[in-house]
Structure 1
Amino acid sequence: MFGDLAVLLSTVGVAPSTHATYAAAWKLWVEWRTVAVRKSVYLDEARGEEVLASELAKYMAYLFFCRGNKMSTIAGKLVAVKYYHKRIGVDLPMKHHFFRAVKAGLARESTLHTESRMRRPISWTILRSGIRTAAAWGEGGRVLWLGLAVSYFFMCRPSEIFAYGNGKIHKEFGITRGNVAFWKGEQQLLTPALWRCADRVEVLFEASKSNHDEAVVSRVKTCPGLAAFDWEWNGTGEVPRGMVGVGGFEVLLELMCCFPQLDAMAPITAYPSGQVWKVWTCAQSSSALRDLVAGQGLKPEEYAPHSGRIGGATRLGAMGLSSWAIQQQGRWKSSAFQSYLRANLDDVQKASFALASDAAGKGIQPGQKTRWQGGRLGAR
C-alpha cells in the first residue's frame, strides 16, 4: 500500500532522477517504522511538535549509529521523509530545538571519527600550466582540458560536464550543445561561423540539486574577456598566446568550436575516438586533473573534478563577491559551499595576491562580467 502511494506521490514536483532517490529513502523509513518500531508510517501532527521531533531524532540516530550513514546522507534521507509527509499535508518540525540539538550532537560525533576529505580548489594558474600536459593527449585532450576550464569558470558540478562510467551524461543535469547559446544584441547566432562575433554566451542549467523542477532553469550569461583568445593547440605544449584575457566565454567558445558538426543533443565534452563518438567521464576527468596537478608538484589525491567548482567559488570569494552572489552563480542549494572557502584560507589569500599582480589586473576572472538569473525554460 505505502509503496504504491510513494510511487504515486513521487510523480509530481521533482525531476525523474530524484524519484528513485526519494523512493529508496522512503522505503527505508517505511521499513524502520513498520518493522523496527512498529508504528504507523506517517507521523501525526495532532501529537504535537515535540513528539514528532523526538521521532525524527530517533530515526536520525538509527541511521547514524545502526546503519553508519554520514550526516550528509542522513540529511538527504530526511528530505525524502519530509517530502512524502508534505504531500499529505503534514509539515515536519525539522527546525524544532530538540531535533536540531540532536543533529548538532551527531555532527560533532561524526567529526571526531571522520577523516577530512576536503578537496582543494584548482586555480586558473594550475589549469593554464596544465596545457603542457594536456597537449600531449591530442584532440580528445583538448576537449577534456576545456571541459575542466568550463567547470572552473561556470562552477559546474562534474555530472553537468562529464559522463558516468557507462559513457552517458545525466539526463537532467548534463549540459548538451543545445544548452549553449551565443548572442549578439537581441539576435541568437545559430551557426558556428558567427559564434566568434557574439557579445555573450548563455548556458541553461535545466536542473540541478538546487532545482528539482524541470520547468525552471538557471541561466548563466558571460561576456567576452578583455583580450582575444588566440588558441594554438599544436601539440607542442606551448602556452597559447592571448591567455591573459581568457574567461568563461572564451573557453566555452573554443569547446563548442572543437567539433561544430555535432548536433544539439550531443554532450559538450564529446570527442571522436576511431569511428565512434565518446564522452569524457568523471573518472577520466579526475585522473587527467590529477596528472595535471602532479606535474606541477602538487598532491594529486587532494584534487578531483569538484575542485574546479570550488576553485571558481574560491576566486569569487577572493574578489569580494558576497556569499549570496556566489551561491546564486554556483547554483548551490544551501550555504554549504562556504565550508570550502573557510577551509581554504590559504587559497583565498593566494587568489587575492594573484588578482592584484596578474598582468596589472587585466585578466578576466570567474564571475567578472557574469550575472545569474532564474527563468522559465525557453525564456531568454
Structure 2
Amino acid sequence: MAVVQAVNSLSASSPPVVNLLRCLVLRVGAFSHVGPGVGAAGEASSRPPVGSGFRTAFSLMERAVTKATWKGRESVWREWQDFCSRLGVDGLRGEVVPALLCFVGEAFEKGVSASGLVKKLAGLAYWFKLLGVRDATKDFVVRQAVLGYSKSRVARDSRRPVSFDLLVKLVGVLGLICSDGYEEVLFSAAFALAFFGAFRVGELVSHSCVASGGLQFGDVAVGVDCVSCFLRRSKTDQSGKGKRIVLYAVPGAAACPVRCVQQFLAVRPCLQPGGSFLIHRDGRSLSRFQFIAIFRSGLDKLGLPAKEFASHSFRIGAATEAVRWGLGEQMVRQIGRWESERIRSYVRLELL
C-alpha cells in the first residue's frame, strides 16, 4: 500500500506520470490493479522500494534529459494512451504493432512531418523500454511504414538564416523598438551572443522572466578582445560536462559580440551572485518570449517577413555564414557544437 500511496500522492496535473508510475509498479508486481487503459496486473514476484524512494527514482529518470525532452515524452505517452483508448486496445500488450501502424497512418493524414513522427516514435520507444515491454517501434513493418512516410513527406525546413548583415541591421533598429537605452543594450548583447555563439535560444535566455535560466552570470568572462561563455548543458551534452565557447571581437562592427557584452555589463545592475546573465534593469530574466518578440519587431521594422524566421535563425545563420566565409565543415561543427550530419541542413546559402 505504501507504493500505491506514493503514486497517488503525485500531482493530479500530471496524469501521464501517475499512469507510468503505476505501470512501473506493475512491472515488478507490486499491486493488482492499475486503472483503465494501463493494463492488467501480473503476479507479484518481488516488491519494489516503497514510499518516497520509488517516486524519487522516477524523478531521477526525469532529470536524465532536458525539461523539453521529458515534456515531449509525456505528451506522446498521453497521445498514445488516448489513441489506444479510441481503438479499444491495450497500448502495451497484445495488438501493439497493428495499433502503431494505425498511429502512423493517422499522423500522415493529419499532416505531421516526418521528423515529428520520428520524435513521437522515439518517445514511445523510451516508454516501452522503461516499462519492460517489447519495443514495437522497431518491428520491421513499422520501420517500413516510417520509411515510406519519410519518402512521401519531405518537408524542408525553410526558416531563413540571420546573416551578419541582417544582425547589424537588427542591432541598428533596436533603438526604435526598445522602451529605453538599457533594453537596447540588453537585446544587442542577446542577439550578438545568439549569432556568434550559435546558441539555441533555450541555452541563452530563460524560459520565464521570473526564473533563472539560460546563460548564467558566473559563466561569462569578458577580456579585451574576447568573451568566454561556459555552456553548462546542451541538447547534445545531457551529462552536463559543459562547453567553453570563446567569441572574438569584430573590430568596427556595431554587432561585435565583445563590444555588445561590454556595453551591457557597464549598465547591468549589480545583484547577488549567480542568476541569469541577461536580465532587465529590475533583475528579471530576459525570457524566450521577449527575445522572440523583439526579434520579430526588428524584422517588421526592416520590412522583412517575420514568419520566415524563428529564434533558431541565429544558429542557422552562424552555420551559413561560417561556410560562406570559407570555414571547413569540421570548424563549423565546433562553432555550433554539432555532432551529426544534420549540420548540413543548417547551411542555407540560398536563403541569405
Fold shared, TM-score > 0.5 on shorter chain:
yes
The one of 43, 67, 81 equivalent to 2:124 is: 81
Change in CA separation of 1:131 and 1:15 when aligned onto 2, cut-off 3 Å: closer
1:124 aligns with 2:164: yes
1:141 aligns with 2:201: no
Match of 1:286 in 2: 292
Q: Secondary structure at the match of 2:280?
A: strand
- Larger radius of gyration between Structure 1 and Structure 2: 2
The correspondence of residues 197-346 of structure 1 with structure 2, limited to 5 A, is 197=224, 201-211=227-237, 213=238, 215-222=239-246, 224-225=248-249, 227=251, 242-243=252-253, 247-259=256-268, 261-272=270-281, 276-323=282-329, 325-332=331-338, 334-342=340-348, 344-346=349-351
Q: 2:92·2:133 contact (CA, 8 Å) conserved in 1?
A: no
Change in CA separation of 1:129 and 1:76 when aligned onto 2, cut-off 3 Å: same
Q: 2:97·2:139 contact (CA, 8 Å) conserved in 1?
A: yes
Q: Which moved more, 1:298-307 or 1:332-341?
A: 332-341
Match of 1:152 in 2: 195
Match of 2:78 in 1: 27
Q: 2:269·2:283 contact (CA, 8 Å) conserved in 1?
A: no
Structure 1 segments, 4+ long, off by >6 Å, are: 51-54
- What CA distance in whole angstroms lies between the structure 2 residues aligned with 1:88 and 1:128? 51
Q: 2:188·2:260 contact (CA, 8 Å) conserved in 1?
A: no
Q: 2:200·2:312 contact (CA, 8 Å) conserved in 1?
A: yes
1:178 aligns with 2:218: yes
1:76-100, CA deviations, whole angstroms, 9 ceiling, x for partnerless residues? 2222212123335667476776544
The one of 103, 108, 124 equivalent to 1:64 is: 108
Change in CA separation of 1:91 and 1:341 when aligned onto 2, cut-off 3 Å: farther
- Give the length in aligned residue pairs: 298
Change in CA separation of 1:158 and 1:306 when aligned onto 2, cut-off 3 Å: same
Determine which structure has the larger strand proportion and give its number: 1
Match of 2:92 in 1: 41
Q: TM-score, normalised by structure 2?
A: 0.68
Q: TM-score, normalised by structure 1?
A: 0.64
- What CA distance in whole angstroms lies between the structure 2 residues aligned with 1:287 and 1:122? 15
Change in CA separation of 1:223 and 1:109 when aligned onto 2, cut-off 3 Å: closer
Q: Which runs of 5+ in 2 are unaligned?
A: 1-17, 25-54
1:219-254, CA deviations, whole angstroms, 9 ceiling, x for partnerless residues? 133153364xxxxxxxxxxxxxx328x754444444
Superposition CA RMSD, Å: 3.7
- What CA distance in whole angstroms lies between the structure 2 residues aligned with 1:196 and 1:202? 8
The alpha-carbon deviation at position 33 of structure 1 amounts to 4.1
The alpha-carbon deviation at position 150 of structure 1 amounts to 0.7
Q: 1:52·1:92 contact (CA, 8 Å) conserved in 2?
A: no
1:167 aligns with 2:209: yes
The alpha-carbon deviation at position 176 of structure 1 amounts to 1.9
- What CA distance in whole angstroms lies between the structure 1 residues aligned with 2:152 and 2:121? 19
- What CA distance in whole angstroms lies between the structure 2 residues aligned with 1:333 and 1:262? 37
Change in CA separation of 1:63 and 1:223 when aligned onto 2, cut-off 3 Å: closer
Identity score, percent: 20
Match of 1:369 in 2: none
Change in CA separation of 1:71 and 1:11 when aligned onto 2, cut-off 3 Å: farther
- What CA distance in whole angstroms lies between the structure 2 residues aligned with 1:34 and 1:296? 50
1:157-192, CA deviations, whole angstroms, 9 ceiling, x for partnerless residues? 22233344x524575xx2221232x3xxxxxxxxxx
Match of 2:6 in 1: none
Match of 1:367 in 2: none
Q: Which runs of 5+ in 1 are unaligned?
A: 44-50, 183-194, 228-241, 348-380
Change in CA separation of 1:68 and 1:269 when aligned onto 2, cut-off 3 Å: same
The alpha-carbon deviation at position 126 of structure 1 amounts to 1.8
1:3 aligns with 2:20: yes
Q: 1:57·1:99 contact (CA, 8 Å) conserved in 2?
A: yes
